[in-house]
Amino acid sequence: MKLQRKNGLRATALGALAVSGALVLTACGSDDNTGGSGSAGEKKAAASNIKCDDAKGQLMASGSSAQKNAMDLWVKNYMAACTGVEVNYKSSSSGEGIVAFNQGTVGFAGSDSALKPDEVEESKKVCKSGQGINLPMVGGPIAIGYNLPGVDSLVLDAPTVAKIFDTKIKKWNDPAIAKLNPGVKLPETTIQAFHRSEDSGTTQNLGKYLGKAAPNDWKYEAEKKWPAPGGQAAQGSSGVAAQVKQVPGAIGYFELSYAKSQNIPAVSIDTGASAPAEATSENASKAIAAAKIKGTGKDLALDLDYTTKAEGAYPLVLVTYEVVCDTGNKPESLDTVKSFLGYTASDEGQKILTDAGYAPIPTEINAKVRETINGLS
């Protein structure tokens, strides 16, 4: 009897805590990383000219979380315009998206790196008489955020960035950094370089950039796994950003939207142009404009020019792709894929990217993307 009463009390206490806890947590659950982009999206939906064509039913998609914020806006606008169509983008990771694509469970996959040869080979099983191709859809700058009280702007170049993340440069007042920042009073703080603890497309893109732009100081393969032995790790872009925000002397890399939403200052990169390039959407677009298409046939995988010296071009960029079959898409989702990707590649769809902290794909490449989408079968 006594025991029962005790359990009852305990259950009540637990329940009360759970309810109040849930209330407290939901109260602060409006973590919008894109900052005000929601309202921008709504405005556009009102004046939309999205072509729904024969789109119908449910379209499943999965993949890169780097393009999640853009995808959320696109899906919302698209579904508002085309009633009766449901687009479901599960933002997991590029790897998971490609695995799902090659198992034939999704209409398209989002990926922040182009398909590898063995993945293309595998995709031929799903794409009858065709293969998986990459459509560049979302560009964006990777910001290098830092935490140095008293230093409002910082300029680095690729070799210095490489040495910092390789823990070869250990102090903030190192001559290499001082040389790039004349007149800035750099503290004698120890540099604490943070990288991603889990495998990540962002890590791979940083590796590609450093490998091309600072080949003498960055000898590692560009992999999703962090290759260098030193430094510290944190989980996810949000985890790295949180650590940089918290630890004086820290430096880390993440998508620009994280730097913006947490007010973390980002490094400007000295590319050899007359002025260092700031990490902004516009500057990222300028760098992507220097890219060349390296894919063959309908594949539009890009070869980014990381060593560009174009004025104002911010070279540390990543491009995320949508992966589809060139021919042999599943008949039940083909029309919806064409209609939805047609919208995301349209002027209207690309314009949203800037509002969300991303960078649009340059017009010439984008024209080819649209052409390819029209020819999908």
Partner 1 sequence: MASTTPTETPPAPPAASRRAASTGRVGDKVFLGLSRGSGILLLAIMASIAVFLSYRAALAISKDEGNFLTTFDWNPAGDPPVFGIAVLLFGTVVSSIIAMAIAVPIAVGIALFISHYAPRRIAAPLAYVVDLLAAVPSIIYGIWGALFLVPYLGGLNLWLDEYLGWTYIFDKTEVGVARSLFTVGILLAIMILPIVTSVSREVFLQVPRMNEEAALALGATRWEVIRMSVLPFGRSGVISASMLGLGRALGETMAVATVLSPSFLISLHILDPGGGTFAQNIAAKFDEANQFGRDALIASGLVLFVLTLLVNGAARLIIARRKEYSGANA
Residues in contact with partner 1 by CB under 8 A are 6, 9-10, 13-14, 17-18, 92-96, 98-99, 119, 190, 192, 197-201, 221, 223-225, 229, 232-235, 239, 242-243, 246-247
| Residue 285 counted as an annotated binding residue | no
Q: Quote the least distance from Cβ 306 to partner 1, whole Å.
A: 22
Q: Quote the least distance from Cβ 320 to partner 1, whole Å.
A: 14
Residue 111 vs 329, nearer CB to partner 1:
111
Residue 76 vs 171, nearer CB to partner 1:
171
Q: Quote the least distance from Cβ 192 to partner 1, whole Å.
A: 5
Bridge partners, 87 (sequence order): 59
Answer for the pair 234, 215: CB distance below 8 angstroms, yes or no: no
| Residue 112 counted as an annotated binding residue | yes
Residue 69 vs 102, nearer CB to partner 1:
102
Tell me the C-alpha distance between 312 and 309, whole Å.
Answer: 8
Q: Quote the least distance from Cβ 22 to partner 1, whole Å.
A: 11
Q: Quote the least distance from Cβ 199 to partner 1, whole Å.
A: 4
Residue 36 vs 149, nearer CB to partner 1:
149
SS3 percent helix, strand, coil of the chain, rounded to 5, is 40, 20, 40
Residue 12 vs 58, nearer CB to partner 1:
12
Residue 156 vs 234, nearer CB to partner 1:
234
Residue 92 vs 346, nearer CB to partner 1:
92
The owner of tokens 């939901």 is 26
DSSP, residue by residue, 102-152 = HTT-SSEEEESSPPPHHHHHHHHHHSTTS-EEEEEEEEEEEEEEE--TT--
In this structure, are strands 192-196 and 292-293 parallel, antiparallel, or unpaired? unpaired
Q: Quote the least distance from Cβ 223 to partner 1, whole Å.
A: 7
Q: What angle do CA 198, 171, 157 make, to 5 degrees?
A: 70
| Residue 65 counted as an annotated binding residue | yes
Q: Quote the least distance from Cβ 72 to partner 1, whole Å.
A: 19
Query: Could you give the count of Cα atoms lying within 13 Å of 168 in the half-sphere of its Cβ?
Result: 14
| Residue 94 counted as an annotated binding residue | yes
Span between the terminal Cα atoms of the chain, in Å: 71
| Residue 66 counted as an annotated binding residue | yes
Instruction: Residue 78: name the closest of 107, 116, 123, 44 by CA.
Output: 44
| Residue 207 counted as an annotated binding residue | no
Bridge partners, 139 (sequence order): 319, 359
Q: What angle do CA 211, 213, 217 make, to 5 degrees?
A: 60
Q: How far is CA 155 from the centre of its chain?
A: 23
Tell me the C-alpha distance between 3 and 268, whole Å.
Answer: 66
Annotated binding site: 64-66, 94, 112, 200-202
Annotated binding site for phosphate: 64-66, 94, 112, 200-202
